[in-house]
Amino acid sequence: MLSGNLLWVLLGTMLLGIAAGITGTFSFLQKQSLVGDAAAHAALPGIAIAFLLTGQKDLPILILGAAITSALSVYCIQWIVSFSKMKADAAIGLVLTVFFGVGVVFLTIVNHSPLGNQSGLNDFIFGKAATMTKVDLTWLFISATIIILVSLLFYKEWKLLIFDPVYAKGIGLPVEALKAVLTILIVLTIVTGIQSVGVILMSALLIIPAVSARLWTTKLSSMIVLSATIGGISGLVGTFISSLRTGLSTGPIIVLVAASIFFISYLISPAGQINKFLRKKQFRKQGEVG
């Protein structure tokens, strides 16, 4: 049952989950989870425009287009927040939907144009990991490896940036540049993942593993390891389940596996509900004795 290609797809989505788990942790701690959501939606116009300009379904070009519009959307959000009295959540929501709307516009233009078979572009919305080719997978492997390595490289600097930005600036770290690298890496994670899980659900892979890991630990290093593990397991198990039956999109199943892990963590982790309940009970008992 485990054909050669499936094995590679499983490895690929696992690697993707690991990468998203790592970058997602940093964006979660910067309270920017939903910015990643916006950037993921904003990949759509980039893909469609890149295809319209070149007329080819050439993956590197599509991914470049996605990266440009994703990064642009993050920049737009920051610009709106600093330039107007609009709050961050409204800015994120506005940028997200307008970029997605522009994406739908260009996608419709592509579908109306006589450019041969473009049905593959629609797959970018929900993702189709099962039908990924060798070339797609090679890209996935390279880019996931880059994300993981760069994250490890900048680990110390980002740690400081997140928990004590003033001190980081004080000792002469290039704070803005470090933030930019983090944004680029998050965008890279998103565009790496959209082929397998799609633009709409990619944000889930950035958010859910990080939130689940946070319930288990308060230490950054163990949080990253846990988040990466949860992301990796979600990718692996989700893809495996979806490969059992044809016609099932991979993205939703990967997300549901991640959601189940979150739900379990929410109940039984040290910061989870059962523990909280028991602590409360014990506390009350002590009160009665005293």
Partner 1 sequence: MIEFWVIFTGLLVGITCGIAGVFLILRKMSMIADAISHTVLFGIVMAFIVTQTLNGFWMLIGAAIAGILTAYLVQLLHSSGIQEDAAIGVVFTSLFAAGVLLITLFASNVHLDVEHVLMGEIAFVPWDKWTLLSITMPKAVWMLLLVLLINIGFLVLFFKEMKLATFDAVYAASIGVPIIFLHYGFMTSISFTTVAAFDSVGAILVVAMLIGPAATANLISKSIKQMFLYSMLFGGAAAIIGYYLAKFWDTSIAGMMATAVGILFVVTLLAQKIVDRKRKSLVGKLEGL
Instruction: Report helix angle 4-29 to 33-41, nearest 10.
Output: 130
Q: What is the 3-state secondary structure (H, E, C) of the chain?
A: CCCHHHHHHHHHHHHHHHHHHHHHHHHHHCCCHHHHHHHHHCHHHHHHHHHHHHCCCCHHHHHHHHHHHHHHHHHHHHHHHHHCCCCHHHHHHHHHHHHHHHHHHHHHHHHHCCCCCCHHHHHHHHCCHHHCCHHHHHHHHHHHHHHHHHHHHCHHHHHHHHHCHHHHHHCCCCHHHHHHHHHHHHHHHHHHHHHHHCHHHHHHHHHHHHHHHHHHCCCHHHHHHHHHHHHHHHHHHHHHHHHCCCCCCHHHHHHHHHHHHHHHHHHHCCCCHHHHHHHHHHHHHHHHHC
The reply on whether position 220 binds partner 1 by CB under 8 A is no
The reply on whether position 201 binds partner 1 by CB under 8 A is yes
The reply on whether position 26 binds partner 1 by CB under 8 A is no
Supply the minimum distance, in Å, between the C-beta of residue 34 and partner 1.
5
Give the x-and-dash track for 260-289 against partner 1 (CB under 8 A): --x---x----x-x--x-------------
Supply the minimum distance, in Å, between the C-beta of residue 269 and partner 1.
11
Given candidates 46, 65, 103, 235, which one binds partner 1 under the rule CB under 8 A? 103
Residue 80 or 185 having the CB closest to partner 1: 80
Residue 56 or 122 having the CB closest to partner 1: 122
Supply the minimum distance, in Å, between the C-beta of residue 215 and partner 1.
8
Supply the minimum distance, in Å, between the C-beta of residue 142 and partner 1.
26
Residue 31 or 284 having the CB closest to partner 1: 31
Given candidates 53, 60, 75, 89, which one binds partner 1 under the rule CB under 8 A? 89
Q: Give the sign of the dihedral formed by CA 10, CA 148, CA 217, CA 258.
A: negative
Give the x-and-dash track for 235-264 against partner 1 (CB under 8 A): ------------xxx-xxx-xx--x--x--
Give the x-and-dash track for 64-83 against partner 1 (CB under 8 A): ----------------x--x
Residue 64 or 104 having the CB closest to partner 1: 104
The reply on whether position 96 binds partner 1 by CB under 8 A is yes
Number of residues that bind partner 1 (CB under 8 A): 59
The reply on whether position 133 binds partner 1 by CB under 8 A is no
Question: CA-CA distance, 223 to 203, in Å (whole number)?
Answer: 18
120 contacts: CB under 8 Å, gap ≥ 6: 57
User: Which residues are at the interface with partner 1 (CB under 8 A)?
Assistant: 28, 31-34, 37, 41, 80, 83-87, 89-94, 96-98, 100-109, 112, 122, 125-126, 200-201, 203-204, 207-208, 210-211, 214, 247-249, 251-253, 255-256, 259, 262, 266, 271, 273, 276
